[in-house]
Amino acid sequence: MTDKHRHIENNVKILRNEIEQFFIFFKQGLDYSKMVYEFWNAKDILGHITFWHESFAKNISDLGKGNKPKPLKGKLSEVNKQSVETTKGESIENLIERLKYAQDTIEAFIFEDKIDMIPYKKGSRDYSKTEHLEVVSNHIRKHLKDIRKTYGKTNEQNRIA
Protein backbone atom coordinates (compact mmCIF):
# COMPACT_ATOMS: atom_id res chain seq x y z
CA MET A 1 0.00 0.00 0.00
CA THR A 2 1.39 3.39 -0.97
CA ASP A 3 1.60 6.38 1.35
CA LYS A 4 -0.95 8.17 -0.83
CA HIS A 5 -3.37 5.24 -0.51
CA ARG A 6 -2.81 5.13 3.28
CA HIS A 7 -3.42 8.88 3.53
CA ILE A 8 -6.69 8.59 1.59
CA GLU A 9 -7.73 5.61 3.71
CA ASN A 10 -7.08 7.61 6.88
CA ASN A 11 -9.08 10.56 5.54
CA VAL A 12 -11.96 8.22 4.64
CA LYS A 13 -11.96 6.93 8.24
CA ILE A 14 -12.06 10.50 9.55
CA LEU A 15 -14.94 11.37 7.21
CA ARG A 16 -16.82 8.19 8.13
CA ASN A 17 -16.44 9.14 11.81
CA GLU A 18 -17.77 12.67 11.20
CA ILE A 19 -20.77 11.21 9.35
CA GLU A 20 -21.36 8.71 12.16
CA GLN A 21 -21.33 11.51 14.76
CA PHE A 22 -23.91 13.32 12.63
CA PHE A 23 -26.09 10.19 12.56
CA ILE A 24 -25.81 9.75 16.33
CA PHE A 25 -27.04 13.30 16.87
CA PHE A 26 -29.97 12.94 14.46
CA LYS A 27 -31.10 9.58 15.87
CA GLN A 28 -31.77 11.01 19.33
CA GLY A 29 -35.37 11.96 18.61
CA LEU A 30 -34.88 15.62 19.47
CA ASP A 31 -36.78 18.64 18.23
CA TYR A 32 -34.66 19.36 15.15
CA SER A 33 -36.54 22.54 14.32
CA LYS A 34 -34.41 24.47 16.83
CA MET A 35 -32.60 27.30 15.05
CA VAL A 36 -28.83 26.91 14.84
CA TYR A 37 -28.14 29.82 12.47
CA GLU A 38 -30.29 32.81 11.60
CA PHE A 39 -32.13 30.98 8.81
CA TRP A 40 -31.28 27.30 9.37
CA ASN A 41 -32.43 24.83 11.98
CA ALA A 42 -30.70 21.52 12.75
CA LYS A 43 -32.75 19.62 10.16
CA ASP A 44 -31.87 22.23 7.51
CA ILE A 45 -28.19 21.60 8.26
CA LEU A 46 -28.71 17.86 7.79
CA GLY A 47 -30.31 18.61 4.41
CA HIS A 48 -27.45 20.95 3.50
CA ILE A 49 -24.81 18.32 4.38
CA THR A 50 -26.73 15.60 2.52
CA PHE A 51 -27.08 17.80 -0.59
CA TRP A 52 -23.35 18.57 -0.72
CA HIS A 53 -22.38 14.97 0.05
CA GLU A 54 -24.57 13.78 -2.81
CA SER A 55 -22.83 16.27 -5.11
CA PHE A 56 -19.41 14.90 -4.07
CA ALA A 57 -20.69 11.33 -4.57
CA LYS A 58 -22.14 12.12 -8.00
CA ASN A 59 -18.96 13.84 -9.20
CA ILE A 60 -16.64 11.05 -8.05
CA SER A 61 -19.03 8.38 -9.36
CA ASP A 62 -19.15 10.09 -12.78
CA LEU A 63 -15.35 10.20 -12.87
CA GLY A 64 -15.10 6.56 -11.83
CA LYS A 65 -17.54 5.51 -14.56
CA GLY A 66 -15.74 7.57 -17.20
CA ASN A 67 -18.52 10.16 -17.46
CA LYS A 68 -18.03 13.93 -17.46
CA PRO A 69 -19.02 15.27 -14.02
CA LYS A 70 -21.62 18.01 -13.79
CA PRO A 71 -20.66 20.00 -10.69
CA LEU A 72 -23.13 22.35 -9.05
CA LYS A 73 -23.49 25.80 -10.61
CA GLY A 74 -24.05 29.22 -9.10
CA LYS A 75 -22.73 31.40 -6.33
CA LEU A 76 -21.94 29.51 -3.14
CA SER A 77 -24.67 31.41 -1.27
CA GLU A 78 -27.23 30.42 -3.93
CA VAL A 79 -26.16 26.77 -3.93
CA ASN A 80 -26.29 26.68 -0.12
CA LYS A 81 -29.79 28.14 -0.20
CA GLN A 82 -30.76 25.52 -2.79
CA SER A 83 -29.28 22.79 -0.56
CA VAL A 84 -31.80 23.62 2.16
CA GLU A 85 -34.78 24.41 -0.08
CA THR A 86 -34.53 21.13 -2.01
CA THR A 87 -34.27 18.98 1.13
CA LYS A 88 -36.74 20.78 3.41
CA GLY A 89 -39.62 18.38 2.68
CA GLU A 90 -37.56 15.26 3.42
CA SER A 91 -37.78 13.35 6.67
CA ILE A 92 -34.76 13.02 8.97
CA GLU A 93 -34.75 9.28 8.27
CA ASN A 94 -34.72 9.78 4.49
CA LEU A 95 -31.95 12.39 4.69
CA ILE A 96 -29.86 10.00 6.80
CA GLU A 97 -30.41 7.21 4.25
CA ARG A 98 -29.43 9.53 1.40
CA LEU A 99 -26.33 10.63 3.30
CA LYS A 100 -25.37 6.99 3.96
CA TYR A 101 -25.82 6.15 0.29
CA ALA A 102 -23.69 9.14 -0.76
CA GLN A 103 -20.96 8.07 1.68
CA ASP A 104 -21.05 4.51 0.34
CA THR A 105 -20.73 5.86 -3.22
CA ILE A 106 -17.76 8.03 -2.26
CA GLU A 107 -16.05 5.07 -0.60
CA ALA A 108 -16.73 2.88 -3.65
CA PHE A 109 -14.80 5.26 -5.95
CA ILE A 110 -12.29 7.14 -3.78
CA PHE A 111 -9.49 4.59 -4.29
CA GLU A 112 -9.80 4.49 -8.09
CA ASP A 113 -6.35 5.28 -9.52
CA LYS A 114 -7.85 6.88 -12.63
CA ILE A 115 -9.47 9.57 -10.45
CA ASP A 116 -7.05 12.35 -9.65
CA MET A 117 -8.91 15.64 -9.26
CA ILE A 118 -12.57 15.98 -8.27
CA PRO A 119 -14.69 19.01 -9.21
CA TYR A 120 -16.35 20.87 -6.36
CA LYS A 121 -18.49 23.51 -8.03
CA LYS A 122 -18.46 25.29 -11.41
CA GLY A 123 -16.16 28.28 -11.16
CA SER A 124 -14.17 26.72 -8.34
CA ARG A 125 -10.94 24.79 -8.62
CA ASP A 126 -10.91 21.00 -8.53
CA TYR A 127 -9.61 19.21 -5.43
CA SER A 128 -7.41 16.17 -5.01
CA LYS A 129 -9.07 13.20 -3.30
CA THR A 130 -7.21 13.96 -0.06
CA GLU A 131 -8.13 17.65 -0.14
CA HIS A 132 -11.77 16.90 -0.94
CA LEU A 133 -12.05 14.43 1.94
CA GLU A 134 -10.45 16.92 4.33
CA VAL A 135 -12.69 19.80 3.21
CA VAL A 136 -15.83 17.66 3.58
CA SER A 137 -14.80 16.32 7.01
CA ASN A 138 -14.06 19.83 8.27
CA HIS A 139 -17.36 21.12 6.84
CA ILE A 140 -19.36 18.43 8.67
CA ARG A 141 -17.34 18.88 11.88
CA LYS A 142 -17.98 22.65 11.89
CA HIS A 143 -21.73 22.26 11.46
CA LEU A 144 -21.92 19.53 14.11
CA LYS A 145 -19.97 21.72 16.54
CA ASP A 146 -22.45 24.57 15.93
CA ILE A 147 -25.40 22.20 16.39
CA ARG A 148 -23.99 20.83 19.64
CA LYS A 149 -23.34 24.36 20.88
CA THR A 150 -26.98 25.27 20.21
CA TYR A 151 -28.39 22.09 21.77
CA GLY A 152 -26.04 22.09 24.74
CA LYS A 153 -24.47 19.17 26.55
CA THR A 154 -27.70 17.70 27.87
CA ASN A 155 -30.32 17.01 25.26
CA GLU A 156 -33.17 16.19 27.65
CA GLN A 157 -34.66 19.67 27.27
CA ASN A 158 -34.51 19.27 23.49
CA ARG A 159 -36.54 16.06 23.26
CA ILE A 160 -39.91 16.16 21.57
CA ALA A 161 -42.56 15.78 24.26
Q: What is the tens place of the pLDDT at every residue in 35-86?
A: 999 999 999 999 999 999 999 999 999 999 999 999 999 998 999 999 999 9
Mean predicted confidence (pLDDT) in 118-127? 89
Assign residue 74 the CATH number of its domain.
Answer: 1.20.120.450
**133 near 11, Cβ under 8 Å?**
yes
The confidence score (pLDDT) of residue 152 equals 85
Structural domains of the chain, count: 1
Q: Is residue 161 part of a domain?
A: no
Q: What residues are paired with 30 via a beta bridge? A: 159
Q: Is residue 157 part of a domain?
A: no
Q: 25 φ, ψ to 5°?
A: -60, -45
Listed in sequence order, the residues at least 6 apart from 108 whose beta carbon sits closer than 8 Å to its beta carbon are: 61, 64
Q: Is residue 156 part of a domain?
A: no
Q: Is residue 98 part of a domain?
A: yes
The confidence score (pLDDT) of residue 123 equals 85
Percent of the chain at pLDDT > 70 equals 94
Q: Is residue 158 part of a domain?
A: no
Q: What is the pTM of this model?
A: 0.91
Q: Is residue 58 part of a domain?
A: yes
**By residue range, what is the domain housing residue 10?**
3-151
Q: Is residue 54 part of a domain?
A: yes
Instruction: Kindly indicate the confidence band of residue 154, based on its pLDDT and cuts at 50, 70 and 90.
Output: very low
Mean predicted lDDT score pLDDT of the chain: 91
Q: Is residue 45 part of a domain?
A: yes
